[in-house]
Amino acid sequence: MINEINQIMDQAYDAFLSYQNISGKDKKKFLCTIADEIEALGEELLTTASEETNLPTARFAGERARTCGQLRAFGDLVVEGSWVNAVIDKASPDRKPMPKPDMRKMSIALGPILVFGASNFPLAYSTAGGDTASALAAGCSVIVKGHPAHPKTSALVTSAIKKAIAICGVHPHVFQHVEGESFEMGKILTQHPLTAGVGFTGSLSGGRAIFDYAQQRATPIPVFSEMGSTNPVILLKDALRHDAKEYAKAFAGSITIGVGQFCTNPGIMLGIKSSALNHFTSLLALELSLTPAYKMLHQGIHKNYTQALSNVLYNHDVETIYHAHAEGELIASPVLARVTGDAFLKNVNLHHEIFGPFSLIVVCENKDQLVEIYKNLKGQLTTTIIGTHHDLETNQDILNIAKNVAGRIVFNFVPTGVEVGNATVHGGPYPAATDARFTSVGMDAIQRWVRPVCYQDCPDYLLPDELKNINPLGILRKIDGKFTRDA
Ligand code: NAP
């Protein structure tokens, strides 16, 4: 395996040296051609993904649109060009006591990036998903360690990328796909001296292990692991009094979408003891009872779900409100449980993510207890606040906690469904992610794969176009502290 990996990494490094210098226009052509070739795979891609995951083909039509939309959006970003964060501080030769040099900086690609494909999003977070698209947009070469749960889907998407490589004439090894269910392979790839960064989506244990492998390297590299989250929902009382039915319906959908196999699944809901909270809980149970039970992605995830469920439900402090008890291979029963704030505070095992169609309602004694619990939750990808205007106005302290808890704060809507845009944050304080300063979804995901380089007193003709005096690309730059597109 070592020889094979050495060869892959040598090829990836050669590809990086050539690919990092291609223009934004050529990168856009490549990214858009990948999207075209993925779409050209047609129904075969949708049915293959469906067969390998037990999820419906309609879901993959949506996921394919997101995947291709992401690739094209990164194409637009790099052709526009301002993403390189160009900054120019002009020289001041007469400055006393020392002359000020001309300093110009911009972001450049890191090198070969290793991507661990996720099992729950075979298209949008895997072979040609957000990590790959953002790394290729930055000018990096990419090695994807495919997830063993969907090898045929990965092979199809790889074939589309290889076609795009041939059509666009970029280096043949700018993208490579490696397979095999082997932690050893993931470890060797992460620790290979030519690997310059890692993107991961999956479990806390996996993401943390890969982060730790990287720390053991002689040359440390950044690892961007996006991992588990319980996505706490705060249920404020006026909203429950007025709109309990609508919210119950929306949250039943959010808990069960994709058989609960979403990292943004609302796994914990916090409210204050009241008849309104009881009423909402009953309505949510009723809505869940109307939702059929479906098959999970693979044996491992199903085993983890049933094990984690029995650990939680076995606890005598936890009351099962709804449990579908559906039978069949890989079938996951939607479950709603309830616990008091006191019991939740005492038992940290109840704070962990249960990956599947499950949610735990925490009934707090009063607002002080809700605040105490909320403040002490670990880092989250999202947190949601359900409240009327009056609720929100009178609970602004909760908003202050929210921003320290999560990467994305949702108001009066469900957390599942991640919009891919310029303002997207899909990350958060550990253990939601290993680096809370970055996002793994959205346009800023590209910033994970670059580093700044500064040119001091460099002759204009030697500067990259982004930093040349005349601004030939017309990009937005910060010159002496002011943003401008001027020369
Ligand atoms: P996973 O176990 O984290 O695996 C994801 C990838 O990481 C796989 O390619 C796996 O290798 C690799 N990996 C995991 N642990 C590793 C280690 N110690 N050393 C080297 N490589 C390692 O995720 P999964 O298989 O998709 O699902 C398992 C559990 O992860 C689920 O039950 C769920 O709890 C959680 N999960 C969470 C999310 C989320 O978004 N929060 C998403 C998916 C899964 P192999 O290919 O060799 O298996």
CA of 180 to the centre of ligand 1 (A): 13
Beta bridge partners of 295: 331
Q: Which CATH number fits domain 2-227+435-482: 3.40.50.1820, 1.10.3720.10, 3.40.605.10, 3.90.1300.10?
A: 3.40.605.10
| 304-328: average pLDDT | 93
Question: What sign does the CA torsion over 406, 412, 418, 424 have?
Answer: negative
For residue 430, what pLDDT is reported? 97
Which of 55, 119, 208, 216 to mutate for ligand 1's pocket (most ligand atoms within 8 Å of CB)? 119
Residue 160 CB neighbour total at 10 angstroms: 21
Query: What pLDDT, on a 0 to 100 scale, did the predictor assign at position 278?
Result: 98
Average pLDDT, integer, range 328-340 = 95
User: Which percentage of the chain shows pLDDT scores above 90?
Assistant: 97
Condensed to tens digits (0 to 9), the pLDDT of residues 221-234 reads 999 999 989 999 99
pLDDT at 324: 85
Report the C-alpha gap between 265 and 404 in whole angstroms. 19
For residue 180, pLDDT over 90 is answered with no
pLDDT of residue 181: 73
pLDDT of residue 175: 98
Other CB atoms within 10 A of residue 292 CB: 9
Domain boundaries, the chain: 2-227+435-482, 233-411
- pLDDT bucket at 182, cuts 50 / 70 / 90: confident
Tell me how far apart the alpha carbons of residues 87 and 442 are, in angstroms, rounded to a whole number. Answer: 23
pLDDT (tens digit, 9 = 90+) per residue, 198-208? 999 999 999 99
Least confident of 44-48, 322-326, 392-396: 322-326
CA 41 to chain centre: 25
Question: What CA–CA distance (Å, rounded) separates 55 from 170?
Answer: 34
Topology (CATH) of 233-411: Aldehyde Dehydrogenase; Chain A, domain 2 (3.40.309)
* Residue recorded with tokens 């790394």: 135
Centroid of chain to Cα 321: 31
Q: How far apart are CA 336 and CA 322, in angstroms?
A: 5
Does the beta carbon of 151 lie inside 6 Å of ligand 1? Answer: no
C-beta 162 within 6 A of ligand 1: no
Q: What backbone phi and psi angles, to 5 degrees, belong to 320?
A: -80, 120
Interior angle at CA 247, CA 240 and CA 433, nearest 5: 105
Domains 2-227+435-482 and 233-411 share a fold: no
Mean pLDDT (the chain) is 96
Residue 263 designated active-site: yes
- pLDDT tens for 44-55 read 999 999 999 999
Q: 1: pLDDT confidence band, cut at 50, 70 and 90?
A: confident
Which pLDDT belongs to residue 409? 98
The answer, yes or no, to whether any atom of ligand 1 lies below 6 A from the CB of 360, is: no
Amino acid 327: pLDDT? 84
Residues 37, 226, 353, 466: which is the catalytic one? 226
CB of 301 closer than 6 angstroms to any ligand 1 atom: yes
Q: Is 44 a catalytic residue?
A: no
pTM of the predicted protein model: 0.96
| Helices (H) then strands (E): counts for the chain | 15, 19
* pLDDT single digits (tens) 343-386: 999 999 999 999 999 999 999 999 999 999 999 999 999 999 99
pLDDT tens for each residue of 16-31:
999 999 999 999 999 9
Which pLDDT band, with edges at 50, 70 and 90, does 326 fall under? Answer: confident
pLDDT at 415 over 80: yes
Cα separation, 230 vs 191, in Å, equals 30
Write down the H helix ranges in 81-203.
Answer: 130-138, 151-168, 183-191
Q: Whose CA is nearest to atom 7 of ligand 1?
A: 206
Ligand 1 atom closest to Cα of residue 204: 3
Task: Please give the pLDDT value at position 72.
Answer: 98
